[in-house]
Amino acid sequence: MVWLPSCRSLFPAALGLAGRRRLPCHHAPAAAHTSWGAGGQAETGKPNGPTAMLRHLLLKLRATGPVTVAEYMREALTNPGQGYYTRRGGIGESGDFVTSPEISQIFGELIGVWYISEWIAMGKPKAFQLVELGPGRGTLTDDILRVFNQLSSLLSKCDVSIHLVEVSPKLSETQALMLTGGKVQSNPEDKSAYMKGVSKTGIPIFWYRDIQDVPPGYSFYLAHEFFDALPIHKFQRTEKGWREVLVDVDPEVPDQLRFVLSPSTTPATENFIQPEERREHVEVCPEAGVIIQRLACRIENDGGAALVADYGHDGTKTDTFRGFRNHKLHDVLRAPGTADLTADVDFSYLRKMTQGRTATLGPIKQREFLKNMGIDLRLQVLLQNSHDTQTREQLLHSYDMLMNPEKMGDCFNFFALLPHHRLLHTDKKHKPESKLPVSPVAGFGELLLK
Ligand code: SAH
């Protein structure tokens, strides 16, 4: 199969018009702020006394001393009883932040096209699993499934299944409703999944708490705004060397938390700071490293690819820890469990943690990726098919949100893991006998394939 860049843009044109609501605002990185994670214009609110989560943390800190930022973040986000994602998980207009798939259907459609294009480029394997990490409300998978359905003639001989890795019972319910109409079975006996169902288009869907529970097999992985939600460690360079930032009770103010520095090195300072590090303040997300290692091993052993999209940097930023509540910056130490906590993804760390098991592409900016995927043509098709001014305005507005460099176009990045052999045909030097033309990886453009 010859896969030329122009073919990619045929897909967006072929998808037809399938309307769904688009939302106005987004989950954007904070403007620069000075104190760690305090978020200059934090939304203060007037809670009536400490939340259950804060009470739990105050008791713990008083009993056993300060905790790492990673431990604090894990508790605040995914504590089984009181964690933000466990109880609230406020994605969407009425929640705390909005993500690209919630803004425009085009986003998920183009990602669906990316998987089809990679499936074709990899010789149309007879089966694949689509594994999404942190699926939120299920909107992205829903848009991807619509693409798979519209291109069903291509996929008719392929056995496709969906595997969602989600820790939040609340969000998994929302996903089940979105994707299956709520018809799911809990704790199925035949699988390691905690829930299973069938999509509106007839594709089996399984839910897991951990990537390790997903059965092995040829898989396409997707992580959109997932890695930014994983716990980070924070480190500060001092005259005495690296010290870890910890969370402690503020002795001056009742029921309030504060950041402190570890008095000496901690296991994390020893293990996570590179000797050549030049920055004064560093954030490291070991959990992201472990998950990337697992994805890289799985792709190396069973084949497939991973697409990671998130805000982030290539090992250059320092303090990016921030909170969001009701679409406003929120002090990360205030009312834990009621706000989303997040930090920029360090793509250079993710690349390193693949340990060379797979090739990597990117990170490239969202606006470049979506442009390469044919967003302009897709927008034109949707505009031509919409007859009322309001829909047309919404389409243009959401396009601007996704693509404008000052909105989401520049701060969100795409990054991919691919088996080494996927890029080998590009190496004519070592494979001079190859008559196949280069098969570019959609979205990333030719430059990054060199
Ligand atoms: N991908 C979605 C949602 C992003 S929010 C979107 O772009 O709209 C982060 C998602 O990751 C939520 O679904 C949250 O419940 C989930 N999540 C957070 N930590 C997790 C963990 N450790 N394991 C699995 N899922 C997690």
pLDDT in tens, 301-359: 999 999 999 999 999 999 999 999 999 999 999 999 999 999 999 999 999 999 999 99
Q: At what angle do helices 52-64 and 69-78 cross, to 10 degrees?
A: 150
Q: How many helices (H) and strands (E) does the chain have?
A: 17, 18
- The SS3 call for residue 99 is coil
What pLDDT does residue 429 have?
54
Q: Is 443 strand, coil or helix?
A: coil
To test the pocket of ligand 1, the residue of 20, 21, 74, 85 to mutate (highest count of ligand atoms within 8 Å of its CB) is 85
How much is the CA Rg of the chain, to the nearest whole Å?
22
Name every protein residue with a CB atom under 6 angstroms from any ligand 1 atom: 78, 85, 89, 91, 99, 101-102, 134-136, 140, 165-168, 171, 224-226, 229
257 C-alpha to ligand 1 centroid (Å): 25
Give the count of beta carbons closer than 10 Å to the beta carbon of residue 440. Answer: 21
CA atoms within 13 A on the CB side of 356: 0
Distances (CA, A) of 188 to 130, 134, 184, 191: 19, 21, 10, 6
Nearest CA to ligand 1 atom 17: 134
CA of 224 to the centre of ligand 1 (A): 8
The per-residue pLDDT for 431 is 56
Rounded to whole angstroms, the Cα distance separating 322 from 71 reads: 15
Residue 263 has pLDDT above 50, yes or no: yes
Fold of 85-231+285-422: Rossmann fold (3.40.50)
Please answer whether residues 47 and 331 qualify as being in contact, where contact means their C-beta atoms are separated by less than 8 angstroms. Answer: no
Name the average pLDDT for the chain. Answer: 87
Task: Tell me the backbone φ, ψ of residue 258, rounded to 5 degrees.
Answer: -150, 160
**SS3 assignment, position 323:** strand
Residue 447, classified by CB atoms within 10 Å of its CB into exposed (0-12), middle (13-18) or buried (19+), is: exposed
What's residue 438's pLDDT? 57
- Band (pLDDT 50/70/90 cuts) for residue 12 is very low
- Percent of the chain clearing pLDDT 70 (strictly above): 85
For the cut 70, the answer to whether the pLDDT of residue 450 exceeds it is no
Residue 205 in this model has a pLDDT that exceeds 60: yes
CA of 386 to the centre of ligand 1 (A): 33
* Cα separation, 327 vs 279, whole angstroms: 30
List where CATH 3.40.50.12710 sits in the chain.
Answer: 85-231+285-422
pLDDT at 188: 86
Report field, pTM of the whole predicted structure over 0.85: yes
Q: What pLDDT is attached to residue 17?
A: 39
